[in-house]
Structure 1
Amino acid sequence: MSSTTEQKVMRAQQYDARDNKLHLNEVPVPEPREHEILVKIGCASLCHSDVMLFEPNDQGLILGKNPVTIGHEGTGRVVSTGSGAVASKFKKGDPVGFICAVDCCFECYACKNVHNAWCKTGETKMQGFSADGYFAEYAVVDAREAMVLPENLDPKSSAPLFCAGVTAYHGIADCQLPSGSWVAVIGCGGLGHMGIQYAKAMGHKVIGIDITDAAIEEAKSCGADYTFNSMIDKDYQKKIVELTGGGVHAAVNFTASKKSYDACPAIVKAGEGTIMVVGIPQQPLEFNALDIALGRYLVKGSSNGTCYNMKEAIEFSAKHNIKPHMTAFKLEEVPKMVELMNSHKAQGRMGVIFE
């Protein structure tokens, strides 16, 4: 398929490290390489890790080019493809979703079993950080990282599934719990509100924990069986232990709060519980070595998305009609979205819907 589009320039929200701000710039429409597809973006949504660009952190976010188009959650329709066999599997007009790793091999042990970030080539870039992302009218994506959307998923609203959805799904599923288990979802916002939906669809009993009334209401609307505002209810840990008969089987933490991680061991069932690390605080986490050595709880992580585990999460979402609660904005309003996220005033996910 031809790798050209009539439009030669486009608008893009780009982060500039020189002033630590976003700028709505006019940039060339990219052309797909042999293994890539060019997508007209239908929806791009904001993730907390996008906001980490603006703040000091020691958790491994690497800025490559500068300025860089931000955003790593996107869906849209194929405009054109590169000439390679993997790209040619897509056709013009296909509704697609995709994830953000590029320039990795996709074939080494790390790519297939851990995460593309640890590809043996050492060349991996993440769109939205070290390569241009999706808060733009068009984007090129690696065809190996893309899939055609199931029929009941709309490319104008499904972008959050391709980070928040895949991450939240595996944050719950990778706990490997039998149906009927107690799951605490810590942080009921952009990721957590989806985690609650996945946990309920898997048959678990769900406790939502957050620090804002808006997030607590979001948790209830997503089906949480019980909710606690940990800022207001100082006895919430004791109540959870009593409610669950000794503690939850998994505490899945979707927040960027170290304090919330510090509070996890007190609500996990001794000898049977897992603390699932999903959210990434600025500071390193601390766990008691004796607790871990004696098996009081297990600390695990969950891959936030590769082409090998993406499809399972998206198909589960479509089958169970799990959809993100998303507030729509315009491209020029992305700085406002960042402000709302930083002030904890956002509910669910925030996204740009393109015409």
Structure 2
Amino acid sequence: MDQVAAYAAYSADSPLAPFTLERRTPRPDDVAIDILYCGVCHSDLHFARDDWGMTRYPIVPGHEIIGRVSAVGTDVTGFQVGDMVGVGCMVDSCRECQPCRDGLEQLCLNGFTMTYGSDDRRDGLFTQGGYSGAIVVNEHFVLRLPRGLDPASAAPILCAGITTYSPLRQHGVGAGHKVGVIGLGGLGHMGVKLARALGAEVTVFTRSEAKVDEARRNGADHVVVSTDPAQMAAVAETFDFMLDTVPVQHDLNPYLAALKYDGTHILVGLIDPVEPAIQGANLIFKRRVLAGSLIGGIPETQELLDFCAEHDITCEVEMIDIADINEAYTRMQAGDVHYRFVIDMATLNAADQG
């Protein structure tokens, strides 16, 4: 076991603070990684604050990890020391059930092992995330960073990117389709870029007039201010797909009404009960579909990284020092980030010494 510097939440109501964790000695099929950058996801905040009632403390968040391979196990064939790699939301799954065999490890029938907050399948140790100097991960769950993709801004692709790319690919979004993206945060702005790159015509739905220009700068063909009844009425029954990135309860009915017949509304942000209730007529009378999607499997995530390199797609990020993580959480909760914080992990040693 190796001791590694990190930042952890010690309780639901305490700020994140320096922490020392132990990383396992690499197994024959493991890859050891020195972490260079780690994105800050809203899920990190939820976990740190125990908003979902499942957190065990101390917890080291972080599942948007970019780093350099420092060592490989004797059975590893796909990576070598010095490679630039990524680790996303998963570090293991059963790899035997049908979803796992289909490359859909996030849908593992036995539950995937989260990058942080899970018990390791083999040794029972508690997984800890990327707000740390290093991590050890099974080769199957390590992703290759393509040449030409900026490492820092690539980090959020491993969560925000795959969360929006996977449903677009699953539902066959492409040229000739009209896609509405609801919300323009970390997920939404990636959804705009990816849907455009897949050939779709993209409209951003936002509650704020102030985000109209932002949406266009991110590549939106059109912008609808959803609080304006006239604008919503003007786009009724015009969209093939809605990519709904909003993580809090909101009324789905106006967006369902904006779909054509056979249109699909895809939830990727909301995991709470839908409130207010969906009007069944909005689905039945136009044969519309309400769907959900959870991140993506390992093959699809590698496909996404390669796609982003090919199309020069990166996440818009704000770099921060690890010592500023609590301020970043405060700003993130207030919606004051465009569009993802990324921690420069080179600042970890300085923070630890300070």
CA contact (8 A) 1:145 1:306 kept: no
Deviations 1:107-139 (CA, angstroms, capped at 9, x unpaired): 3212234843543445x3201333211111111
Deviations 1:287-341 (CA, angstroms, capped at 9, x unpaired): 3345444553111223412113112211111111111111100111122221111
The residue that corresponds to 1:53 in the other structure is 47
Which residue, 129, 133, 147 being the options, matches 1:133?
A: 129
* Secondary structure of the structure 2 residue equivalent to 1:33: coil
Q: CA RMSD in A?
A: 2.5
The residue that corresponds to 1:38 in the other structure is 32
Deviations 1:125-164 (CA, angstroms, capped at 9, x unpaired): 2013332111111112221011221111133331111111
The residue that corresponds to 1:239 in the other structure is 234
Which residue, 325, 331, 350 being the options, matches 2:341?
A: 350
The residue that corresponds to 1:101 in the other structure is 90
CA distance in 1, matches of 2:249, 2:295: 19
* Correspondence 1:76 to 2:67: yes
* Secondary structure of the structure 1 residue equivalent to 2:220: coil
CA contact (8 A) 2:92 2:141 kept: no
The Cα of 1:30 is off from its aligned counterpart by 4.5
The Cα of 1:205 is off from its aligned counterpart by 1.1
* Correspondence 1:172 to 2:168: yes
CA distance in 1, matches of 2:138, 2:188: 28
Structure 1 residues 34 and 213: CA distance shift in structure 2, 3 A: farther
The Cα of 1:29 is off from its aligned counterpart by 4.9
* Correspondence 1:283 to 2:273: yes
Please, which runs of 5 or more residues in structure 2 have no aligned partner? Answer: 119-126, 347-354
Structure 1 residues 14 and 188: CA distance shift in structure 2, 3 A: same
The residue that corresponds to 1:185 in the other structure is 181
**More moved, 29-38 vs 334-343:** 29-38
Deviations 1:234-258 (CA, angstroms, capped at 9, x unpaired): 43311322xxxx3211110011122
The residue that corresponds to 1:227 in the other structure is 223
Identity of aligned residues (%): 27
CA distance in 1, matches of 2:257, 2:68: 47
The Cα of 1:42 is off from its aligned counterpart by 1.4
* Secondary structure of the structure 1 residue equivalent to 2:199: coil
**More moved, 283-292 vs 246-255:** 283-292
- Output aligned runs, 1:275-314, within 5 Å: 275-284=265-274, 286-314=277-305
CA contact (8 A) 2:64 2:158 kept: yes
CA contact (8 A) 1:230 1:236 kept: yes
CA contact (8 A) 1:237 1:266 kept: no
- Output aligned runs, 1:109-148, within 5 Å: 109-113=98-102, 115-122=104-111, 124-130=112-118, 131-148=127-144
Q: Match for 2:265: what amino acid?
A: I
* Secondary structure of the structure 2 residue equivalent to 1:332: helix
The Cα of 1:21 is off from its aligned counterpart by 4.1
CA contact (8 A) 1:30 1:38 kept: no
* Secondary structure of the structure 2 residue equivalent to 1:339: helix
Structure 1 residues 22 and 225: CA distance shift in structure 2, 3 A: same
The Cα of 1:272 is off from its aligned counterpart by 2.6
The residue that corresponds to 1:265 in the other structure is 256
* Number of aligned residues: 337
Q: Match for 2:149: what amino acid?
A: L
Please, which runs of 5 or more residues in structure 1 have no aligned partner? Answer: none
Q: Match for 1:278: what amino acid?
A: V
CA contact (8 A) 2:39 2:343 kept: yes
Structure 1 residues 325 and 194: CA distance shift in structure 2, 3 A: same
Deviations 1:224-281 (CA, angstroms, capped at 9, x unpaired): 01113334x343311322xxxx321111001112215343212212x23110111124
Deviations 1:19-40 (CA, angstroms, capped at 9, x unpaired): 4542222334543233221111
TM-score (norm 1): 0.86
TM-score (norm 2): 0.86
Deviations 1:51-73 (CA, angstroms, capped at 9, x unpaired): 22255656xx743x521210111
Structure 1 residues 18 and 55: CA distance shift in structure 2, 3 A: closer
CA distance in 2, matches of 1:19, 1:222: 36
Which residue, 3, 6, 9 being the options, matches 1:12?
A: 6
